[in-house]
Structure 1
Amino acid sequence: MGLRLRGFCRACSLIARQAANPTGLARRYLMRMVRPFTERFTVHVLNRPPGLPPATTMAELAAHYADAIEATFTGPVNVLGMSTGGSVALQLSADHPELVARLVLGGTACTLGPIGRRAQHAYIDRARRGQRPSPALAEMVTESAIGRTLVKALGWLADGRKDHTDAATMLNAEDGFDLHRRLHEIKAPTLLIQGDRDLVYPLELARQTARGIPGARLIAYPGRSHGTTFTDKRFASDALAFLIGS
């Protein structure tokens, strides 16, 4: 259980993949992203516990989040999950439907696309060999060769001397994640928001996910990539409109 942001109305839980409250630039980015939601909700950021066994599954991760929700709230909560956090949110909603009132998913789907899977495999391999792993993710950020070179350099610098074992465990759990056959078990009203140029979770996978969840809606942002879906000015307003039922 992590950062709590005060707002109004009922609770909204944001599932993140960090193992600790973010600091520095990461914290400023998170605060900027969730600030619109604090005008209507009390926002809780749910972080994964550190030191997870390397073979941890997505179901086991979802169980940790379920325990945090049950320990904190007396009823179901609204859940917002983005990217890998969206994978956990889907698993949570299928395994523990009684805990989720409304579900918003940004830049995610019921399984990884081929580019995302390949890049995350490389990240896991580098992390477990003690190398800086983030350069492996350049492939899923941009299709430009020059852009990938730049992203690799920035990723290498950003990694520093940090331990990336837990991040590799999280991505390894996502590698084994495939909820295609269980989407119908999700009972919460669900909104998916996806960029049509997402290389990690291609739009067609988002469409399959929306079709599998009873009554789910999908909003696609033309020209938006994986990362720019969340920073699009429409993201917070579309998510908020759905969460408050308008």
Structure 2
Amino acid sequence: MRIRGLEVREGTLANDLPYYALGTGAPLVVLRWFTPAHANPAGLTRGVELRVLAPLARHFRLYAVGRAPGMAQGTTMADIAARHAEALRAEFGGPVDVMGLSSGGSVALQMAADHPDVVRALVVAGAAHRLTPNVRRLQRRYTEAVAAGRRGLQHQAVTAASSPAGQALAGALLWLLDPLVRPGDPRDMLAFARAEDGFDLTGRLADVVAPTLVLGGERDLDYPVELFRETAEGIRDSRLITYPGLGHLGTFRSGRFAADVTAFLAGTGPGGSGEIARTTS
């Protein structure tokens, strides 16, 4: 299959993790943001994801990986990270570069801390070592509304915009879009939201030994800049880049995003710069 001029191969990794692969070069595993369904995205949601990934596919063989369907209630983030680690060991046979987007960043950080043998270098984009109480509350409202058969996507407006007026407009639009992206079975996303609700690596960031890049927008209302900074400061070999004026989704849409990720990962390879200095720009 070809999408946006790129050859795309779809499949399933061990532990039933859905993925698609595209691009050429060294492998880069991308752990997806919060998704309504635990399956490879289609239609509108795939288009949004590919707009972020396509520039990186010129430099890497990307493996966009989602969570497994049939997630049991009571699953923890450590459980999810362990299943991802097993799948990546089976697929690659050694450490691989990993990038986590938003909620995928939570999974990536947990995996890097619990299973350091799996992660060669780590990129955490639009995510931090814990969620804020506000994000927990809004994510809970969204998933519980959808699980009850009500529209809930408007609760994600804080992710889509960084100003009160923008959030009001985004909330109205998301309310209208809700039926188009509502999953047939919401139990998976509800189980994942509850797992992420308990995610907190405070005090464990020193267990992340992979060179790490933390990327975030200065106007991200999901994750304040202080959380990005705490995450980077807690990891010995780390770099922090913040994007002025950008919110949560703006991080992934930044014209610098792909270049910053590519430069960082190139610097951690053979002949690279070694220790990554902490900087904010």
Shorter-chain TM-score bucket reads: over 0.9
Secondary structure, aligned partner of 1:239: helix
1:98-149 deviation per Cα after TM superposition (whole angstroms, max 9, x unaligned):
0000001111100012321221121132133222221122244435444333
Could you tell me how far apart the structure 1 residues matched to 2:146 and 2:191 are?
10
Equivalent of residue 106 in structure 2, options 87, 93, 97:
87
Determine whether 1:12 maps to 2:28.
yes
Structure 1 regions of 5+ residues with no counterpart? none
Match of 1:50 in 2: 69
The question of whether the paired residues in 2 share the 8 Å contact of 1:113 and 1:199 is answered with: no
Displacement of 1:73 after TM fit? 0.5
Q: Cα distance 1:181–1:40, how it changes in 2: closer, same or farther (>3 A)?
A: same
Q: Percent identity?
A: 44
Secondary structure, aligned partner of 1:180: coil
Number of residue pairs the alignment of both structures matches = 245
Determine whether 1:162 maps to 2:183.
yes
Equivalent of residue 70 in structure 1, options 72, 80, 89:
89
Letter in 2 for 1:123: Y
Match of 1:200 in 2: 222
Secondary structure, aligned partner of 1:233: coil
1:151-195 deviation per Cα after TM superposition (whole angstroms, max 9, x unaligned):
223222322153333222222211100001110000100000111
Equivalent of residue 24 in structure 1, options 26, 33, 43:
43
Q: Cα distance 1:146–1:32, how it changes in 2: closer, same or farther (>3 A)?
A: closer
Letter in 2 for 1:15: L
The question of whether the paired residues in 1 share the 8 Å contact of 2:125 and 2:251 is answered with: yes
Could you tell me how far apart the structure 1 residues matched to 2:61 and 2:159 are?
33
Could you tell me how far apart the structure 1 residues matched to 2:133 and 2:255 are?
28
Q: Cα distance 1:109–1:85, how it changes in 2: closer, same or farther (>3 A)?
A: same
Secondary structure, aligned partner of 2:204: helix
Match of 1:3 in 2: 20
Determine whether 1:187 maps to 2:209.
yes
Q: Cα distance 1:139–1:26, how it changes in 2: closer, same or farther (>3 A)?
A: closer
Could you tell me how far apart the structure 1 residues matched to 2:163 and 2:57 are?
37
The two structures have a TM-score, normalised by structure 2, of 0.82
Equivalent of residue 115 in structure 1, options 128, 131, 134:
134
1:33-85 deviation per Cα after TM superposition (whole angstroms, max 9, x unaligned):
11222222211111101121122111111112112201211111000111101
Could you tell me how far apart the structure 1 residues matched to 2:53 and 2:219 are?
23
More divergent stretch after superposition (90-99 vs 159-168) = 159-168
Could you tell me how far apart the structure 2 residues matched to 1:144 and 1:84 are?
22
Which structure 1 residue ranges, 4+ long, deviate > 4 Å from structure 2?
Answer: none
More divergent stretch after superposition (26-35 vs 94-103) = 26-35
The question of whether the paired residues in 2 share the 8 Å contact of 1:119 and 1:140 is answered with: no
More divergent stretch after superposition (18-27 vs 152-161) = 152-161
Could you tell me how far apart the structure 2 residues matched to 1:129 and 1:25 are?
24
The two structures have a TM-score, normalised by structure 1, of 0.93
Match of 2:145 in 1: 126
Determine whether 1:237 maps to 2:256.
no
Structure 2 regions of 5+ residues with no counterpart? 1-17, 273-281
Match of 1:214 in 2: 236
The question of whether the paired residues in 1 share the 8 Å contact of 2:29 and 2:96 is answered with: yes
Equivalent of residue 124 in structure 2, options 105, 110, 126:
105
More helix by share: 1
The question of whether the paired residues in 1 share the 8 Å contact of 2:159 and 2:249 is answered with: no
Could you tell me how far apart the structure 2 residues matched to 1:136 and 1:165 are?
18
